[in-house]
Chain A
Amino acid sequence: MRQTPLHEEHKALNAKIVDFHGWAMPLQYAGIVDEHKHTRAKAAVFDCSHMGEFILKGAEAVAGYDALVISDVGKIRTGRSRYGAILNPNGGIIDDAITFRMSEEELYVVTNAGTLEQISALLTALPGDVRDVSAETAKIDVQGPQARETLLAIGMDAAADMRYFSQRRIQWQGEEILLSRTGYTGELGFEIYVSNERAVPLWRALLDLAPTAPAGLGARDTLRMEAGYPLSGQDFDENRTPLEANMEMFVGWDSEFPGKDRLLKQKEAGGYSMLTPIRTPDRRAPRRGFEVYGANGEAIGEVTSGSFGPSVGHGAGFAYLPQDCRAPGTQLTAGPRRLPIEAAEAPLYKQGTVRN
């Protein structure tokens, strides 16, 4: 398994380590529920160094990328970022991606570990200056209502006035690093991109502060489900289009991208199932792979993610549901024991501080 630059730190913190797409990653430290609640109450620090990062420079590279991603890159202003996805020629989602516009002629793109080789091959084949900096970049997320004061306490002054989905290059301990106000928890948060050499000092500086605690992939998963964020490779993959994955709001229809004709045809034909947040009435959780049944007991869909939501106190997750069965409040059942579930609206957890 590949190790992040923080591997020894995780071991010293007695983390339970799991294989995540070939990476040895911390599943939990103190426990998933504790870490989840700490993130909602204070601030948690996550190692996300397994993720992919790319730097694209020059008009040629920017134009090439614009023709690859579903986002309309021309509409992303300098200093801001946008969620999107990279598709295969059939419109299937290879991965989702956040595109930062650093300047008129420079983009920074963040993707996931699961399909990194495939994405890297596509991006580095673009014309112009494209660099895959994934292997040399550590990514540390700070998420929670006290995330801003945490960054201010270690001298990242830019955190004071950064808007949601914006980013800045800043100086920290003599190195230029990238700070973005993004996250995957539904809380106020930042993601910090540093060289591998800076990862340990940054991690330790963050965890030295009173409001912070380390959190692993387990809490990251329950937090993102409550927040209504799908997980690439789990809630969608190359067998699903952005329309099915409920990403139409992120499709730049004026921009070109692979699979666009397929998406237009699908949109016109309609009738496709769509990814939908689901919840249970009690503490029982839907589980990935559960079949979903309609009012007459007929199979209508499939659960792609599910767990107990520690902050909402009930089961939470995602399922693909026919469009006439996905109105919030629609009563359905799931799994071999016909667990009652209902279609819901994101976010399931309404008190998140993400825009504070």
Chain B
Amino acid sequence: MNPTTCRYTKDHEWIRGDNGVYTVGITNHAQELLGDITYVELPEVGADAQVGAPVGAVESVKAASDVYSPVTGQVAAVNEALEDQPELVNQSPYDNGWFFKLEGVDASEVEALMDAAAYEAYLEDLDE
């Protein structure tokens, strides 16, 4: 369910690297908790993202919450499709529903995050 190619945060963001560019989104668990997503606020391209700092927001019919950057870096791209189709986050949280891409990331910071197995164990603990 949660791709093994990603790393995960306790705030339910995922991050996945490809040739030094890291894509970030929210997890399937996060989109399920939020329900129908109605609005996504994305950072500006070029902005500095600090680990753990809010860089965007996501709203659903039921709730609103901040989106945090899993690591430190610069915003290289944002998923503009979410502006008109925020439901992509519900439909495809790990692919078409990505939020933004980071560059200038310290790879060891990513490696230090939870892998898929650790994240799934974390979710199970949350359930209890």
Chain A interfacial positions (CB closer than 8 Å to B): 28, 31-34, 218, 222, 282-285, 287, 307-308, 310
Q: Could you tell me if A32 and B64 are in contact, using CB atoms closer than 8 angstroms?
A: no
B36–A287 contact, CB under 8 A? no
- 47-85 of chain B: CB within 8 A of chain A: 59-62, 64
Question: Could you count the A-B residue pairs with CB atoms below 8 Å apart for me: how many are there?
Answer: 39
Check if A283 sits within 8 Å of B62, measured CB to CB: no
Q: Are B39 and A218 in contact (CB under 8 A)?
A: no
B27 at the interface (CB under 8 A from A): no
- Distance in angstroms from A339 CB to nearest chain B CB is 10
Tell whether, in the assembled complex, residue A308 and residue B35 are in contact, meaning their CB atoms are under 8 Å apart.
Answer: no
Count of chain B residues with a beta carbon within 8 Å of a chain A beta carbon: 12
B9 at the interface (CB under 8 A from A): no
Per the bound structure, the CA–CA distance linking A284 and B59 in Å amounts to 7
Judging by beta carbons under 8 Å apart, are A32 and B59 in contact?
no
Complex-state Cα separation, A222 to B62, whole angstroms: 10
Most buried by A among B59, B61, B87: B61
Instruction: Tell me which of B39, B41, B62, B86 contacts A32 (CB under 8 A).
Output: B62
Is the pair A33, B61 in contact by a Cβ cutoff of 8 Å? yes
Cβ of B38 under 8 Å from chain A: yes
With most chain B CB atoms within 10 A of its CB, the pick from A34, A222, A308, A310 is A308
Residues of A within 8 A of B62 (CB): 32, 218, 307
How many angstroms from the CA of A283 to the CA of B84 in the assembled complex?
A: 9
A287 and B64: CB pair below 8 A? yes
- A307→B39 contact, CB < 8 A: no
- Whether B38 and A285, one on each chain, are in contact in the complex, defined by CB atoms closer than 8 angstroms, is yes
Q: A222-B61, A308-B59 are in contact. Are A31 and B36 (CB under 8 A)?
A: yes
